[in-house]
Amino acid sequence: MSTYIVGDIQGCFAGLQRLLRKVDFSPKNDRLIAVGDLVGRGTQPLETLDYLYSLKDSFDTVLGNHDLHLLAIYAGIRKAKLGDNLDTLLASPQLKTYINWLRHKPLTLMVNQDTLVTHAGLYPKWSVKKALKASNEVSEQLQAKDWKEFLAHMYGNQPSIWQKSLAGPQRLRFIVNAMTRMRFIKNHDELDFNCKTTPELAPTELTPWFKETNKKLKANQKVVFGHWASLNGHTHLKQFSALDTGYVWGQSMTILKLSSGELFSVKYQDQANSADI
């Protein structure tokens, strides 16, 4: 049995299939974990969720910002934009099933004793244990009867600095932002939401979250994340694996074989011109 962790799929079902074939993924024997953003922008969101849902216990995921966006659209809090490409999914009789399934997915999960998976990353002031606890706080809300109420307060960039004393919607909003939207940190603890470039092109006052010293992260612990396509898979740090290599933007999709640390990827292929799909 092998565990594979796949980067942002974003509704690119054909690419996912090619990647899984490349590693000889067997739903019966292997386990597939996703870093979130299962759908959003890519043209096959329904096929993607049909497939991932069909894997049952062989599949698990954390939620990304696009997945939360889908929940917010379903809840009537956000409107679907043309570029979201979610129409087929939103019109599907399976939609309600998939929404309920996603509502029961966490923001972080451990894939083995020391590897944390999260969509955007680990806030530098948090331990792995703290991140899991914070993720649970959000899951409680997402799974509650009044889950739509939580989503109604989810959007916004403030507060941008964590404080233990944060409560209610502000506390939950920070947790969601840190785990699903974070890229750069300002002044060691402040989330920045403006810059999406590579670290090299960013203003000097901004530091990638994984380059901030995290005193609470143990040397043997690892963080696997997605979300930041312009990193192109590079953190240059062994403790942090960036798996979003921008397939939906015409680049590639990447999968990590956990046991060996090997990375496999497939280059983007325009479906209309693709012979093997």
Q: What mask of x and - would describe binding to Mn ion in positions 225 to 244, judged by CB under 5 A?
A: --x-----------------
82 exposure class (CB count in 10 Å sphere: 0-12, 13-18, 19+):
exposed
Q: Of 11, 23, 30, 37, which lies in the binding site for Mn ion, with binding defined by CB under 5 A?
A: 37
35 and 10 Cβ atoms separated by less than 8 Å: no
Residue 64, interface with Mn ion (CB under 5 A)? Answer: yes
CB of 77 to Mn ion, least distance (A): 18
β-partners of residue 267 are 252
CA torsion angle for 206, 173, 181, 235 (degrees, to 10)?
60
CB of 120 to Mn ion, least distance (A): 7
What type of residue is 9? Answer: I
- Helix-helix angle 95-103:65-74, to 10 degrees: 130
CB closer to Mn ion, 37 vs 47: 37
CB closer to Mn ion, 65 vs 254: 65
CB of 70 to Mn ion, least distance (A): 12
**Please, where are the H alpha helices in 38-117?**
45-54, 65-74, 87-90, 95-103
Residue 106, interface with Mn ion (CB under 5 A)? Answer: no
CB of 187 to Mn ion, least distance (A): 24
Q: Could you give the 3-state DSSP secondary structure of residue 58?
A: helix
Contact segment (CB under 5 A) with Mn ion among 44-52, 146-154, 190-198, 224-232 equals 224-232
Report residue 237: phi and psi, to 5°: -135, 130
CB closer to Mn ion, 37 vs 84: 37
Residue nearest to Mn ion (CB): 227
- Number of residues in contact with Mn ion under rule CB under 5 A: 4
Contact segment (CB under 5 A) with Mn ion among 29-37, 76-84, 145-153, 211-219 equals 29-37
CB of 249 to Mn ion, least distance (A): 12
- Tokens 């090619």 locate to 18
- Which one, of 182, 65, 37, 198, lies nearest residue 124 by Cα? 182
Q: Of 17, 44, 65, 254, which lies in the binding site for Mn ion, with binding defined by CB under 5 A?
A: 65
Task: For residue 143, give both structure tokens.
Answer: 């799974």
Name the site residues for Mn ion (rule: CB under 5 A).
37, 64-65, 227
